[in-house]
Chain A
Amino acid sequence: MIRLQNLTFQYAQGQPIFRDFSWDVQRGETWAILGPSGCGKSTLLYLIAGLRFPAAGQVLVNGECISRPRPHTGLIIQEYGLLHWATVRQNAQLGLRIRGFYGPDGTHAPANFHASLDVDTWLDRLRLLPHAEKYPGQLSGGQRQRTAIARTLALTPDLLLMDEPFSSLDAPTREDLQNLTLELQTEQNLTLLIVTHTIEEAAILGKKILLLGNPPNTYPQVIENPQAGSNDFRGSDTYVTICRDLRAKMELS
């Protein structure tokens, strides 16, 4: 589904973050992207989202070279993603409104898009209906992030990119949203890429884990974690082993 081909990327100053980097993601997979600050994990997500562009090489999603945000890719960021002047319902409708604004042109909105502002199913699924008329300033961090998820899922994406979405939340809320994300991934058959800087979160969420090191990254270091997402995984020995393994590898790189 996603193919990075000999990708090179650097910011104006400094050394490349990725050099001749290639990586493949299959449809329906759940990946955690883990690494220390500044390793380029968010950059990788923005490249796939079509919000940044490589200096060399290319990013292909569904065989198409990405030159702008793609209608079926959803992106959820850590904070600041909601319009603070709009209610939960209006925020959840934002993507649909933007699609309605352009019409089904195939670039901003899918060619088969039918205008609709119905988000109540999603608000209900994400336990937001009682808060639909509140503003983001009146919500808890978890509710805000659920609003962002509702807004993205209302656009029926096939690829969901999440950039440290839960890092500003308290532990119980974070755990709740991690479980919800995994449920939604299975339910909607999403390809999920989630960037995180915590080893535990990577181990919980990623059936495959891409470990990035200090730049430049030249090859993908992949850790298989097939049991992630299964029942009671948090308490299992496998989880502890994976975490230990990841910690050792991060220290090495």
Chain B
Amino acid sequence: MKRRDLFYAILALFILWQITSWLVDQPILPSPIQVIPVFFRELGGDLLAHFTVSMWRVLASTALAILLASPAGLILGQSPRLNAIFSPLIYLLYPIPKVVLVPVLILLFGLGDMPKIAIIFIILFFQILVLVRDQAASLRPELIQSVRSLGAGRRALFRYVYFPASLPAILTGLRQSVGTAVAVLYVAELFATQRGLGYYIYIKGSTFFDYPAMYAGIIAMSLLGLGLYFSVDWLERRLCPWQFTE
């Protein structure tokens, strides 16, 4: 996607928002002309702090999910026996909407960052686990044999075959789930916290009825999601250049 196209898309979105806000003509839908100055003013206030907290929660859970799900996926993908034991369990757990676990996690981990990080971690974990497992399982035995014939033992196979082969799966997992992760973060930040964009949006909207500030929060949360999405894109181009050749 070209930068110019992206710029026009953003412009179109704001125009659509402006027109809708004229048509609706209610305080609940302020126009972007009202919201954007508030967004920058709030950034100078406490919006930036809420943004940073939310971003930390997403990044921490993402790092944790990659660190734990990738090796687990690689092990399951390499070992048909272990996979046979675990795959029914994964099959059952995978489609459960993990967001229902938010109250449970709050009860378990109490206040603070832990339950928020845990819920996003669980969502990303399953996504990455399944994709990496399938990727590792799809490596042809002929390939493994031919690399073994070059002298590779288990460690070298992991370093030169399994790890690079699973990179695209990790990134695809992230791409597919960052949207969900940010959505769930919003829900998680509604409970038992006074920090984070979810809390900020909720408190500005339903307690202070400060709608422009609420929309500033929504913009911040969208930027968080977009930023993550773009980062995954960028990483994919950096780390998996072979996927972008003709």
- A-side interface residues toward B, CB under 8 Å? 46, 49-51, 69, 71, 73-87, 94-95, 97-99, 101-102, 108-109, 134-135, 137-138, 148, 151-152, 155
Contacts of B156 in A (CB 8 A): 98, 101-102, 108
Verify B151–A77 contact, CB threshold 8 A: no
Contacts of A77 in B (CB 8 A): 142, 145-146
Verify B151–A98 contact, CB threshold 8 A: yes
Q: Mark B139-152, 1 if CB is under 8 A from A, else 0.
A: 01011011111111
B246 within 8 A of A: yes
Verify A80–B142 contact, CB threshold 8 A: yes
Give chain A nearest CB distance to B114 CB in angstroms.
36
Indicate whether A51 sits within 8 Å of B160 (C-beta atoms), given known contacts A85-B165, A135-B242: no
Contact of B142 among A79, A87, A99, A134 (CB under 8 A): A79
Contact of A71 among B142, B147, B151, B159 (CB under 8 A): B151
**Docked CA distance A142–B167 (Å):** 28
Verify A84–B242 contact, CB threshold 8 A: yes
- A83-B147, A86-B242 known; 20 other A-B pairs, CB under 8 Å? A46-B145, A51-B148, A71-B151, A74-B149, A77-B142, A82-B143, A83-B164, A85-B168, A94-B150, A94-B160, A95-B150, A98-B147, A98-B150, A98-B151, A98-B152, A98-B160, A108-B151, A135-B245, A137-B242, A155-B151
Verify A80–B143 contact, CB threshold 8 A: yes
Verify A69–B148 contact, CB threshold 8 A: yes
Verify B146–A75 contact, CB threshold 8 A: yes
Contacts of A148 in B (CB 8 A): 146
Q: Which residue of A lies closest to B239 (CB)?
A: A85
Contacts of A78 in B (CB 8 A): 142
Contacts of A109 in B (CB 8 A): 151
Query: 3 nearest interchain CB pairs?
Result: A75-B149, A81-B146, A95-B150
Contact of B150 among A85, A137, A138, A155 (CB under 8 A): A155
Verify B164–A101 contact, CB threshold 8 A: no
Give chain B nearest CB distance to A105 CB in angstroms.
10
Give chain B nearest CB distance to A214 CB in angstroms.
24
Contacts of A85 in B (CB 8 A): 164-165, 167-168, 240, 242
Q: Which of A50, A71, A82, A101 has the most CB of B within 10 A?
A: A101
B44 within 8 A of A: no
Interface residues of B in 154-168 (CB under 8 A from A): 155-156, 159-161, 164-165, 167-168
B153 within 8 A of A: yes
Q: Which of A82, A97, A98, A138 has the most CB of B within 10 A?
A: A98
Verify B245–A69 contact, CB threshold 8 A: no
**Docked CA distance A99–B150 (Å):** 8
**Docked CA distance A74–B151 (Å):** 10
Q: Which residue of B lies closest to A46 (CB)?
A: B145
Contacts of B161 in A (CB 8 A): 83
**Docked CA distance A102–B157 (Å):** 12
Verify B149–A49 contact, CB threshold 8 A: yes
Q: Which of B153, B167, B240 has the most CB of A within 10 A?
A: B153
Contacts of B152 in A (CB 8 A): 98, 108
26 contacts between A and B (CB under 8 A): A50-B149, A69-B151, A71-B151, A73-B149, A74-B149, A75-B146, A75-B149, A79-B142, A80-B140, A80-B146, A83-B164, A83-B165, A85-B165, A85-B240, A86-B164, A87-B242, A98-B151, A98-B156, A101-B155, A102-B151, A108-B152, A109-B151, A137-B242, A151-B150, A152-B150, A155-B151
